[in-house]
Structure 1
Amino acid sequence: MSVAYVRETPAEVLPPPSTAVGAIGWLRANLFNGWFNTILTLVGFYLVYIIVVPFLNFAIFDAVWTGENREACIGPEVGACWPFVWAKFGQFMYGTYPDPHRWRVDLVALMFIASMVPLAIPSVPFKRWNAIFFFGIFPVLAFILLVGGFFGLEHVETARWGGLLVTIVVSYVGIVASLPLGVLLALGRRSKLPIIKTFSVIFIEFWRGVPLITVLFMSSVMLPLFLPDGVSFDKLLRALIGIALFSSAYMAEVIRGGLQAIPKGQYEAGQAVGLGYWQSMRLIILPQALKLVIPGIVNSFISLLKDTSLVLIIGIFDLLGIIQRNFTDANWATPVTSHTGYLFAGLIFWALCFGMSRYSIFMERRLDTTRR
């Protein structure tokens, strides 16, 4: 007698176990999928607790948000003294730039954002004209507005600049100048012409072998000693030139790595279709090389942004320098004033660096057509 059973209707679909889906399933699969990962997760939670909780207490929960002077920030369990930041916010942004003329800085910042954002968004049209304005016209307009002396604008010495204004100016000039110089130096180091190759190698190795502090010190203190009598350059201009040359040497090595990663067949393909050296570089080689080294390029930009704080050693007060100078104000002298100032500077630098990093990731994914 046969006891076989054949189901005539499909079996009922059962839901997955509650421990395999949702938040619980994600935790089991990613954080607690074994004894070793469980230990690492618990240690990580403990580190987060002992670091993040005190930080939040100091920055938010125990912080002082209103006050007129140091009296509001004195106490046994007082956190960050944010009234100090609000009181000095103008200096943190503009330095000692004259109050009646700070609208000029605001206008430059507005033009900077209005031209940079469309340039960074791929779907916005007129990229060529946007790039011409951002890299060619905007620097001239910014110089006229910030320095003055033209069209009835009062002249403002760069010695009165400071705060975030100096940080952005130094970073912008360094980034805009170092990228094309780095490309030329990288091509020169790979050139078959002995003079060009030797010059590029010497230039790159010289600037890479000298600390940025030394470069700034030499440009500010030593360079005027070698100039003829009566000839002098603005201190900020000397710093900008030194930083641009210093950064271009590092940028050249990053780009050279991308050029070496391009197969030889790409060079031969350009020659096969009749393209000259510069046409082949512009249309075939450099677009691929720059795409490969986007992380390295952005990493150099981030390093340059953070290294702007070194201009303090030559008497130029960037964001960090102007914050440190305000620690000496007796009206705000408290045990937490310096901590609050450094926290504010750290948040500003983190926001700028994080934005550059996220945009770099976005561009990598958008241009990564070969691995989709």
Structure 2
Amino acid sequence: MQQLLRKRRLRFHQNVKGSSAKSLLDAGVGSDLQRFSVLHGLCASSYFAGKMEDAFALARQIVEFADRQVDPTFKLVAYRLLGTTQVLTGRSREALESLQSAERYRDPDRQKVLSSWFGIDPGLNVLYWKTMALALLGQYEGVAKSSEQVRSELLNHGNAHTVAAGNFYTIVRPQFLFGNLDACESDAVALVTYCGERKVEHLKRNGVLCHACVRARREPTDENIATIRQALDSNRTRDAHLFESVFVAQLAECLLKAGNTVAAEAAVREGFAFVGRSGEQFWLAELHRLDGLVALKQPQPDLSRVETSLLAAMEVARQQDARMLELRAATDLARFAHEASPGLYPCSMLEQLLVPFADAEFSRDIRDARNFLASQVSGDVLVTTMAMKPGLP
């Protein structure tokens, strides 16, 4: 299959590219293989460029096409693309189902040789995005298991892009999302070094961004914050906007730590604007949470906005089944409520959110929530008067 795909792809793309190619295919020109190649390229380029709804629509077309094919690789790639766009648009539960469907068509030995044609091992790429979906859903044991499987399959893998992506999506990215700063920093440095040696530039830039954010979280100096801005600008000049909502949110958090509330608010507004423009919804809850913290840090705190924003963060996270982000926002709401009205804080709600995590210690958010609960006087746990407000965005 790979030889036939490579020959037809080369011949076709010598004549037409991108949307022009799709227009010809829609008019009936080209083969099924050529149609798959063009749709795949358009879908991937759309989500990298921050055009998530376009990518989602293309992914659904690719699934419809793949379901009519016999070769399992078509189905694997199609459902992986659908799962990817569902992750990015805040549909993590649906994404996990799509990626599990793709996983059923994995054939590591057979699909490994397609790495050069797709630019990445298509079978392993399924596991990369599955790991991210599991992380957002708060399924930490699943993240650890998937990451371990990736590490095993990456041993002696010859495709540099596949190795770099595996390290980014299943090692650096989960540590970054979970707030495990020490591990993230060392892993990000290793990723940047590897990508520099093997010339995997876009993943190197994301590694630089992760490392810059970790350093600025620890030491929110002007220099460290400027490094985040420079790395963001470097991506933007290349029309590379994937995960921009995460990095802008990190910028806002670092600015808050630096005490620059005005710039932090501007970054939050920038994040909301990007989400509205791009459709990259999966980090929207975090932007609402940070909006609440910005309101709290004003010279005259807007307490109503604090509460509204934190509740909005919880509601968005709940709608997206993003347990990690819901717990993070709930912990901040608990702190805020306790400080505003000592003795009247949502401990019962926080305890309920912690139940699914049992003995897990993998996330900063779990540790923070437990530490807050432990700081309260045993036996004084009262039910909050605050309730989830319907109709929040």
TM-score tier after normalising by the smaller chain length:
under 0.3
Higher relative CO (Cα under 8 Å, sequence separation at least 6) belongs to: 1
TM-score (norm 2): 0.26
